[in-house]
Structure 1
Amino acid sequence: MRKIIVSTFISMDGVLQSPGGPFEDPDNHFKWGGWSVEYWDDLMNKTMQQSTSQPFDLLLGRTTYEIFAAHWPYQKDDPTSEKFNKIQKFVVSSRQTIDLSWQNSTLLTGDVAAELKKLKQQQGPDLLVNGSGKLVQTLLENKLVDLLHTWVFPITLGAGKKLFDSGTQPSQWKLTDAKLASTGVIIASYIPDGDIRLGSFVPDQISEKETERRSGFSVE
């Protein structure tokens, strides 16, 4: 069974839109494109290299796929480009027809959640998700994320597309690893950890008396 592994760059206020350049995703007149570029250091580069050191395929939303397809096939003598060109690329889109000329690309459309569940059940390497905000929200909505890497940059943007937006389900997550870059970026890794577990800092006796006061009925 394949795992779905999501890596996402987000600001401190949860924005994931257009981290790599001004023209990456200008929807809704977003003017901060390229906000992640100045924060990179050796630790971040090594962490990114490690994420692709094991066999993997790519699972991408249409917009991220088109950005990748316009870049990676044309990078010469680049190990990452060679790897991305050879592996399978699965593209999730509501459109029935898109340009899939980048080699080894397959379109997933229709009942996307069902298609993703079938894809996970297949034999093959893990599926890496980069960017792809709408796809990530679909994955979160259907609890299909097996490992989540958040790269939190020390910046607030105030507006833009959010990671945890529509589709996010109430869930516990367990922290499995954390790194701090020299630039202040926090790279944290999480796995799903079941349903939310509730508690109270208020002692039971006080809580009962407060319930009695508010309701007008005795709990004794």
Structure 2
Amino acid sequence: MRKIRGCAFVSLDGVMQAPGGPTEDPTGGFAHGGWLPQFFDEAVGEAIDAFFAAPYDLLLGRRTYDIFAAYWPYVGQDPTGHGELFEMTGKDEGEAAAMQMGQDFTRATKYVLTRGEQDLPWSNSVKVGGVDELEAIKAGDGPDLLIQGSSTLYPQLIAAGLLDRLTLMIFPAILGGGKRLLGDGPSAKAMRLVEQKATSAGAIIATYEPAGEIGANWAGPEIVSERERARRAAMTEGSW
């Protein structure tokens, strides 16, 4: 059976929208596109390399697919098709790594979870019509399915018990609004920490795996004082 593993860049307030560039995803009036690069350091790069080190396929939401399909096949090329090298910003080593990732993403099978009927023109792209269909793909043979971006996927996958591992790269930024990792939230689940480290730029890289259901237990002894009974009564009445 294949595993589904996610890796998400998030701010301290849980926003993961448009980390990579100002025009990546301005939907909803998001004004902070490109917030991630100032916090990028060597340790973050190493963690990303480790995430993509083994053979993989990609699992993407439709909008992340559109963003990737318009970017990664063209890294190091002239996106207008005129045959000249596309001028990139950054150091040569970073450009070479980006070109390699673009080639790897293009070769990988890209499973796109969507109910829409739009074309998926990037090579090796496969439409997945729903979670049941994805569950059958996960049960088959092949490399692990890796998620990058795609905030709409996580609530569905967690609720269905299909997410095997989640790596969060949490950066010291407060963005105030935007698309969040878990949106309105999936069903309640416990997670356990399996790896963690802090980077020199202040990022926290933490990897989690599912750990069953959320319990409902007292953190200390239960105290039912007169004031507590009054408080509970007010909650029942809706006046608290």
Give the whole-Å Cα distance in 2 for the aligned partners of 1:213 and 1:160.
38
* Local SS of the residue matching 1:133: coil
8 Å CA contact retained: 2:151, 2:183: no
Decide which of 59, 80, 90 is 2:111's aligned counterpart. 90
Identity of aligned residues (%): 39
State whether structure 2 residue 177 is matched by structure 1 residue 159.
Answer: yes
Counterpart in the other structure of 1:144? 162
Amino acid at match of 1:101: P
Give the whole-Å Cα distance in 2 for the aligned partners of 1:86 and 1:164.
29
State whether structure 2 residue 85 is matched by structure 1 residue 64.
Answer: no
Amino acid at match of 2:60: L
8 Å CA contact retained: 2:189, 2:211: yes
Quote the offset at 1:145 in angstroms.
0.9
Task: Return 5+ residue gaps in structure 1 as ranges.
Answer: 216-220
What TM-score does the superposition give when structure 1 sets the normalisation length? 0.88
Q: Which runs of 4+ in 1 moved over 4 A?
A: none
* Local SS of the residue matching 2:33: coil
* Structure 1 pair 157–118 and aligned structure 2 pair: CA distance change class (3 A): same
* Local SS of the residue matching 2:7: strand
State whether structure 2 residue 152 is matched by structure 1 residue 131.
Answer: no
* Local SS of the residue matching 2:31: coil
8 Å CA contact retained: 1:141, 1:167: no
Amino acid at match of 1:88: T
Give the whole-Å Cα distance in 1 for the aligned partners of 2:178 and 2:106.
31
Give the whole-Å Cα distance in 1 for the aligned partners of 2:184 and 2:160.
12
Give the whole-Å Cα distance in 2 for the aligned partners of 1:56 and 1:106.
15
* Structure 1 pair 28–194 and aligned structure 2 pair: CA distance change class (3 A): same
8 Å CA contact retained: 2:194, 2:208: yes
What TM-score does the superposition give when structure 2 sets the normalisation length? 0.81
Structure 1 segment 1-220 matched on structure 2, within 5 A: 1-76=1-76, 78-98=99-119, 100-109=120-129, 112-203=130-221, 207=223, 209-210=224-225, 214=229
Give the whole-Å Cα distance in 2 for the aligned partners of 1:14 and 1:51.
20
* Local SS of the residue matching 2:116: coil
Deviations 1:161-216 (A, max 9, x none): 11122242211100000011111010100000001133223325xx3x5389728x
CA RMSD of aligned residues (A): 1.9
Moved more, 132-141 or 41-50: 132-141
8 Å CA contact retained: 2:151, 2:182: no
Deviations 1:130-183 (A, max 9, x none): 001112222123222110011111111111111122242211100000011111
* Structure 1 pair 210–159 and aligned structure 2 pair: CA distance change class (3 A): same
Give the whole-Å Cα distance in 2 for the aligned partners of 1:212 and 1:131.
47
Quote the offset at 1:113 in angstroms.
1.2
* Structure 1 pair 84–213 and aligned structure 2 pair: CA distance change class (3 A): closer
* Structure 1 pair 58–107 and aligned structure 2 pair: CA distance change class (3 A): same
Give the whole-Å Cα distance in 2 for the aligned partners of 1:57 and 1:46.
20
